[in-house]
Structure 1
Amino acid sequence: MTRPQMLKLREVLEEIDMSRAAFYRMRARGQAPRMRKLPNGQLRVRRQDLDAWWDRCEQNAA
C-alpha cells in the first residue's frame, strides 16, 4: 500500500504521537513540519515534508 502524499493533521498527530496542543506550540516556535492550507481552510502536510522533518529531528538528537 502506498502512503498518501498529503496527510491530514489528525494523521500527522497519530504518526508522531503528539497532542494537537503540543503540535501547535511546536508550530508556533517554527519547529513543526511545513503545513499547507487548502482553499477550504483545512491543513495538510506533504509526506515528503514530514519525512524531511523526521530526518532533521533524528540529526538534532544525535
Structure 2
Amino acid sequence: MQTNIGSLDRGLRIALGLALIGAALGGWIGPWGWLGLVPLLTGLWSRCPLYTLLGVHTGRSG
C-alpha cells in the first residue's frame, strides 16, 4: 500500500490522537476523546482512507 500522509501531517495526527486519548483517560473530555484513535491509527499507518477518496497526498511527490 502506498502512503498518502507526509511526515508533518503524520506527526500532527499522532500527537493529536495521543492528546485526545490521554484527555479521555484523564476524564477531562469524556468518551469523545476516544475518537483520537482515528488520527492516531492513520498517523501510525501513514495512510488516510479519506485522503484516498479525495485524491489528497500530503507527502513528497516523486
Query: More relative contact order in 1 or in 2 (CA 8 Å, sep 6+)?
Result: 2
TM-score (norm 2): 0.24
Give the helix-richer structure, 1 or 2. 2
TM-score (norm 1): 0.24
Larger Rg: 2
Give the strand-richer structure, 1 or 2. 1
